[in-house]
Structure 1
């Protein structure tokens, strides 16, 4: 049985989120990504591997160089899953704001 990494565990890590932010702007080589962090190249490679296994990052090869890029389809799947929760919390905060305005203490 093949174990698949959980996409939400993958994006829970701050370093992996920072990697995603970097490659969202432009495709980058592993070396270029690693240069942006204080961690070792091996540590960053492991983060990239996890993001690739979750299909959040895609890769293209140009000669001997590999460039990693954001997989927009996978990011859309994540956003689509989160959207109902965002709406739920927006509604709750709007109700709370309404209640707070209604019972605002007089000065």
Structure 2
């Protein structure tokens, strides 16, 4: 379980980076102006630590067989990021990053549960 947690948290970070890099490139290719500056500021404020914590919590709840608690993690993050919808590229960045985090945590929790003989969900 612990190995799967580490893979979900840190390996998931690599997945998130790969998934969000095209959006970051899009933002840097925007013409100079307020929209570009706002999107860059929001993307830079995203926080690697938030992603690590998010994937760790998602993995822990899913591995423990508590998908409802995992859904609460996602709801809390959605509420925290609600003001971001004004900048389209930043919203896209956070949505793709969150989806990649969920996929990483879900895949590793399913694998870990199967490895120890528990039902996958």
TM-score, normalised with respect to structure 1 = 0.32
Q: Which has the higher contact order (CA 8 A, sep 6+)?
A: 2
Give the structure with the larger strand fraction. 1
TM-score, normalised with respect to structure 2 = 0.29
Quick check: which has more Rg, 1 or 2? 1
